Amino acid sequence: MARARYFIIWKELDPTRRRVFQICSFIIPLLVWSVVSYCPAVWHPMVRVTEPGSIAHFRVDALIEKRAFFRENAKAVEEHRQPASGVPTNPVYLPAPHEVAVSFYKAFVTPPRLPDEPWLHQSLGHSIKIILWGFLISSLLAVPLGIVGGTYRLFSYLTDPFIEFFRYLPAPAFAALAVAVLGIYDGPKVAIIVIGTFFQQVLMISNTTQRLDPALLEAAQTLGARGFKLFTRVVIPGILPDVYRDMRILLGWAWTYLIVAEVVGNSTGITWFINQQAKYRIYDNVYAAIIMIGIIGLTTDLFLAWIGSQLFTWKSGKKSILSRLRTVYSSPRPKPELSQEAP
């Protein structure tokens, strides 16, 4: 009975269960990570030396492969020298969750070590600014182009072949070129994000536009809508919710180019932090920074999803906050805008 409830195709679960599973999606990876980090029996391939004994090349706190450690110790015992001691541990590239949590916290509360350096939150702010500019410019161009291309064949033949070609060119390949044209500051970074996002965006939006339910168009035509009106009154509102969903996906796409974009020109933003820490193998800071990006991304997306559900009430079927406020605060009117639009 209970099993049947969970395993029905496309069957929505009740809200409580849904929440539980959603939280589990985070808990499970965290659990796996914790088990690997805290249970030496599972996977601790290295030994952290606590006492080097008589072994010349061991140092306190050095990480030694387990096999090498035991081999050296066996040799020492055989030769009646003092063996080393140590505790099993993970490789340096896999810090434990609590170490990452501490780095995460410290990264925000530690003031920059040089007076003119940005705080971490300022670096993050800079990165977000780059993303937003890149995404805004890309969207301003790609959304109209995608919608028009998806609606009128003329435009799709005029743009698609070139875009199909160009989208295979990797954005990072334009790095040196972008610097030559746009300088060393934010210009080339924004450009890399635009190049990385724009072409996918046009194709995706155009594709979405083409998937508009033809019944809507037929119905509108039956009711007498023609020409440009079909485009503005049927196509646009019809695809807008899906375009909005595409944009949410594409915003994530823009983020993937950030790490490339920020080393173009002078080093700035969260990438500078990540690269610098990785170069010196301070991996707990690297994980912390990666998690920060994840949190920013997910929060933005949840926020946008909420806005979307408020904007496109004809799709989500929900009453938006605005309309609810209106019913609370204004006296009921006979019929809103819709009645004026009907011919």
Q: Is 182 in the site for other proteins (CB under 8 A)?
A: yes
Binding mask 65-104 for other proteins (x = CB under 8 A): x--x------------------------------------
212, 285 Cβ separation under 8 angstroms: no
Q: Which is nearer to other proteins, 247 or 312 (CB)?
A: 247
Instruction: State whether residue 88 is helix, strand or coil.
Output: strand
Query: Does the footprint of other proteins cover residue 257 (CB under 8 A)?
Result: no
Q: Binder to other proteins among 227, 317, 334, 336 (CB under 8 A)?
A: 227
In 140-282 the beta strands, taken as DSSP E runs, fall at: none
Q: Which range in 73-81, 96-104, 172-180, 203-211 contacts other proteins by CB under 8 A?
A: 172-180
Smallest separation (angstroms) from other proteins to the CB of 81: 17
CB closer to other proteins out of 100 and 312: 100
CA–CA separation, 238 vs 223, rounded Å?
16
Does position 272 interact with other proteins (CB under 8 A)? The reply is: yes
Q: In sequence order, which residues have a C-beta less than 8 Å from that of residue 287 and are 6 or more positions away?
A: 95, 100, 103
Cα 160 to Cα 166: distance, rounded to the nearest angstrom: 10
| Residues 41-60 contacting other proteins, CB under 8 A | 57
* Residues in Cβ contact with 56 at an 8 Å cutoff, skipping those fewer than 6 apart: none
Q: Which residue is associated with the tokens 């899906």? A: 242
| Amino acid identity at 322 | L
Judged by CB under 8 A, does residue 228 bind other proteins? yes
Structure tokens at 106: 């410290």
Closest CA to 338 of 310, 313, 316: 313
User: Is residue 267 close enough to count as binding other proteins by CB under 8 A?
Assistant: yes
If the CB atoms of residues 63 and 291 are measured against other proteins, the closer one turns out to be 63
Pick from 196, 202, 236: which is nearest to 217 by CA? Answer: 236
**Total chain residues near other proteins (CB under 8 A):** 51
Side chain identity at residue 120, one-letter code? L
State which residue, 236 or 282, has the beta carbon closest to other proteins: 282
**Interaction site with other proteins (CB under 8 A):** 57, 62-65, 68, 113-117, 133, 137, 140-141, 144-145, 148, 154-155, 175-176, 179-188, 190-191, 194, 227-228, 263-267, 272-273, 275-277, 279-282
